[in-house]
Structure 1
Amino acid sequence: MGLTRVVLGVLALVTLCVPLGSLVVDAVMEKIDGGGLINLGNRERTWTPYMSLSHLLSEIESITSYFSFRTFDPEGALFYGDTDNGEDWFVLFLRDGVPEMQIGKGDVLVSVAGGHKLNDGLWHKLELHSEGKFVVLKVDDHRELAMGLHSHEPDTSKEGYIRLALGGILVSEKKLLLPLNPLLDGCVKGGRWLNLSTLWDSTPRKTAMSCFPNIKAGSFFAGTGLAIFNTSDLPGVDPKEERIIITVNTSSTTLNGTILSLRSLQSHSTVLSVAKDTNSGMMIFKVNTETTPINEKFDEDLISFNVIIHKTSVAFETKNVSSESHLRSGDYSSILAAWNEGMLLAFGGVPEDGLDSGSDYMEGCLDTIFIQGQKIDLDQASFKDASVSSHSCPV
């Protein structure tokens, strides 16, 4: 079980590309043919790969593969391969935008990371090939990383099967050297991988979205789902200021529906929401049962606002050129107390009893979200509907 065997499993992975129009559905799985374009995001399950296959090692002849990859996502699993049913494995992923490779063989783990950040929203050509006992990663035709592992065990590289996966891993995440958020909002295309033409197995997705022709950084909501955080997992109430500040910036010209909502876990009621009405173009600010239409004219391509919760007031504050604040006074100390204990803060709709259900879903792109000044990543949400793209929006 030498390194060659692991390398073969690795290199067979590298060029998975799938056209949405080539899906063939059976009773349980979809059969997918490689060679086109595929969106790695929009999946319900965290670690489960988008697609996988198993193939005889003895039929592997080529050990060079390549594909093009595009993302704004700083972290996530790109592809994975193993032999011996997961005893020997390899994974390539991004961490802080930088490519990282890991090999696991028995109790030995090898990890290497480095090179240029790849989460710039541009297409990059990635190539993997073997150089003796090393796996080499090239990015845009430049040698980026090399990782080697020497074993004194007998080389059985042509025995058994390889398992391949894209967008996840097939072993326990506990085997990784460092923790990782595996969800990856990105696309691959133009793949050429080894000599295999085997169809891949894929779990049908609730919302199968194509790769946008042109993208910008942001979080895209398709109008069919939302992302929900438990506020106890978010930055807490500032003890000096005794206030909560939620900041939303968006340049989406077609934004409509509920942008954010805050719900009590005790009373199951929505205590606050901000929505944009499609017909009037006005923002609707609601606190408990009292509604305040915001008559201010927003720029055509810019909506930026703060929601500020104090003990004695809640404010909707616009951040446009003519900044304006809409204040509602009252006793809101219970919201501050409940925030640290846990409430449901949703973006893109109003959650109902089940986290996977809601209403008044938003359609459009949120460029950035900040809570207490800290940027929020939707991949960290307690629940995120598969229709929500965490890091990319169509231009």
Structure 2
Amino acid sequence: MAVPWKVIAGGLLLALLGWGAEGQGYRPGKVSGSATLYLGQERDIWRPLIHTTVNLSEISSIKSSFQLRTFDAEGAIFYGDTKNGQDWFILALKDGIPLMQISKEEMLVSVMGGPKLNDGKWHTLEVSNQGKFVVLEVDGSNGLVVGMQQKKNEELLTGELRLAVGGLLIDRGELFVQFEPQMDGCVREGSWLNLSGPWEAEAGELWPCYQHIQPGSYFPGTGFAIFKTSDFPIMEGDGVKLEIKGDFSKMDGTIFSIKAPGQPLMFALVASNNTKEVTFNFGSDSFNMKDTFKNLAIIIQMDLIQVIQDGDELKTTRFPISPTGQQDYLISWREANLAFGGLLGEGEGNVGSQFLTGCLEKIQVQGRDLDLDLAVKHMSISSHSCPA
């Protein structure tokens, strides 16, 4: 390798670490190394949120630290490279655990370990070079150690170092371990390599981080997330179960809707702050409930619809489905769209203006927790966190 391993350890591993007070220190197109950054901001999900290029001769420190907070289990934190991307380093989360990937000459190295970090708390991460080892410390304790030995002599430190936060500057096909890049999380209060110059921001205006968060999916009233119902097949003799947890009294707008292209709306669940009610629409019928519950399950079977509030049998309402409706429902489900946060309109995938404002703390379809990162969704939706 043309650049010493100490530089890879100190430059690439430690390079992208530095944020300060929330919302501080940036202007359109530029961002200070002391700014707090929301990593899930709208952009190409593989592109970094901010990036910079520095001369290796300017680097005077091989130790950096920053704070990370997320409920998201997967995503890119930072990236660095030398030789215009020939040698590179990535720190990410996968399954909530730190994942480091390094490309050095003809080698690809991937190491994963340490504590789970997706608990919604601020964690301090420090990365340092200790001889032939790179050490990631989490909250003051060793979390992950990577060692690499180079047989041939190391060359003199020259050239440029590119740094990026929240994405990559290389093709994702070069990754040793693939992962989903977008992270619903924040970084702040960093000190990295004693660099003080401004960074280039991919967006002209950076989104703020909420002061306090809780688990869930937050809909700010500007967009929706949409799935194909074919992703949730109906087994013979079974129906469909949707379960939503959250404070329904704080929701306003369409929670979910189901519709097949060219067909009338099948189902919709709508909350209203004005009436303090939640309405379940099915076909031409509707059912109103007071918004005092925190858990709602809707079970759609061949001949019956059940609406269950807070798991209470005494708060279960049943609606028989006519034989004609049974056949229509089974056919439509196979080719329908399922939208969370918006009302499906006449065109396929067309969502009307009744967008949801509120937090869905948990969403399950067919007994499976739903990850909105897997949906086609508006970038304003936070998949894993809500303001608390």
Q: Give TM-score, length-normalised by structure 2.
A: 0.91
For 1:227-266, list aligned pairs within 5 A.
227-232=225-230, 234-241=231-238, 243-251=239-247, 253-264=249-260, 266=261
Over residues 257-282 of structure 1, what are the superposed CA-to-partner deviations in whole Å (9 max), with x where a residue is unaligned? 00001121x31653221010121011
Match of 1:345 among 338, 342, 350: 338
CA distance in 2, matches of 1:369, 1:75: 18
2:330 maps to 1:336:
yes
Match of 1:368 among 362, 366, 378: 362
| Contact 1:51 1:167 survives alignment (8 Å) | yes
Please state whether the residue corresponding to 1:99 is helix, strand or coil: strand
CA distance in 2, matches of 1:186, 1:356: 29
Q: Which residue of 2 aligns with 1:317?
A: 308
CA gap of 1:148–1:109, structure 2 versus 1, over 3 A, is same
Q: Which residue of 2 aligns with 1:225?
A: 223
Match of 1:306 among 297, 300, 311: 297
| Contact 2:19 2:191 survives alignment (8 Å) | yes
Q: Which residue of 2 aligns with 1:282?
A: 277
- Deviates further, 315-324 or 104-113: 315-324
**Cα offset, 1:361, TM superposition:** 0.7
Q: Which residue of 1 aligns with 2:371?
A: 377
Q: Give the AA of the match of 1:336.
A: L
For 1:132-171, list aligned pairs within 5 A.
132-152=131-151, 154-156=153-155, 158-171=157-170
CA gap of 1:159–1:336, structure 2 versus 1, over 3 A, is farther
Over residues 182-225 of structure 1, what are the superposed CA-to-partner deviations in whole Å (9 max), with x where a residue is unaligned? 1111111111111211211122278x542222211111111111
**Cα offset, 1:168, TM superposition:** 1.4
**Cα offset, 1:22, TM superposition:** 3.5
| Contact 2:48 2:167 survives alignment (8 Å) | yes
Over residues 221-253 of structure 1, what are the superposed CA-to-partner deviations in whole Å (9 max), with x where a residue is unaligned? 111111111223x33212242x11111111254
Q: Give the AA of the match of 1:135.
A: V
| Contact 1:224 1:387 survives alignment (8 Å) | yes
- Deviates further, 81-90 or 172-181: 172-181
Q: Which residue of 2 aligns with 1:12?
A: 15
CA distance in 2, matches of 1:226, 1:141: 40
Over residues 305-361 of structure 1, what are the superposed CA-to-partner deviations in whole Å (9 max), with x where a residue is unaligned? 122223344443323544222425232434434444x43211111245586964211
| Contact 1:42 1:388 survives alignment (8 Å) | no
For 1:12-161, list aligned pairs within 5 A.
12-16=15-19, 19-25=22-28, 30-152=29-151, 154-156=153-155, 158-161=157-160
Aligned length: 381
Over residues 132-179 of structure 1, what are the superposed CA-to-partner deviations in whole Å (9 max), with x where a residue is unaligned? 222110001111111122334553462221111111112122222222
CA distance in 1, matches of 2:290, 2:110: 53
CA distance in 2, matches of 1:68, 1:109: 27
CA distance in 2, matches of 1:157, 1:223: 54
**Cα offset, 1:105, TM superposition:** 2.1
CA distance in 2, matches of 1:173, 1:355: 29
| Contact 2:167 2:181 survives alignment (8 Å) | yes
- Deviates further, 62-71 or 42-51: 42-51
Q: Give the AA of the match of 1:292.
A: S
| Contact 1:49 1:169 survives alignment (8 Å) | yes
CA gap of 1:216–1:376, structure 2 versus 1, over 3 A, is same
Please state whether the residue corresponding to 1:177 is helix, strand or coil: coil
CA distance in 2, matches of 1:67, 1:356: 42
Q: Give the AA of the match of 1:261.
A: S
| Contact 1:18 1:33 survives alignment (8 Å) | no
Please state whether the residue corresponding to 1:129 is helix, strand or coil: strand
Please state whether the residue corresponding to 1:350 is helix, strand or coil: coil
CA distance in 2, matches of 1:154, 1:357: 61
Q: Which residue of 2 aligns with 1:216?
A: 214
CA gap of 1:205–1:252, structure 2 versus 1, over 3 A, is farther
2:175 maps to 1:176:
yes
| Contact 1:43 1:205 survives alignment (8 Å) | no
CA gap of 1:194–1:339, structure 2 versus 1, over 3 A, is same
CA gap of 1:198–1:109, structure 2 versus 1, over 3 A, is same
2:199 maps to 1:200:
yes
CA distance in 2, matches of 1:269, 1:56: 61
Q: Give the AA of the match of 2:171.
A: S
Please state whether the residue corresponding to 1:389 is helix, strand or coil: coil
Match of 1:270 among 265, 269, 274: 265
Please state whether the residue corresponding to 1:147 is helix, strand or coil: strand
CA distance in 2, matches of 1:16, 1:177: 28
CA distance in 2, matches of 1:5, 1:44: 30
Aligned identity (percent) is: 36
CA distance in 1, matches of 2:295, 2:36: 34
CA gap of 1:225–1:239, structure 2 versus 1, over 3 A, is same
CA gap of 1:34–1:253, structure 2 versus 1, over 3 A, is farther
Q: Which residue of 2 aligns with 1:189?
A: 188
Structure 2, unmatched stretches of 5+, are none
CA distance in 1, matches of 2:79, 2:21: 16
CA gap of 1:156–1:325, structure 2 versus 1, over 3 A, is farther
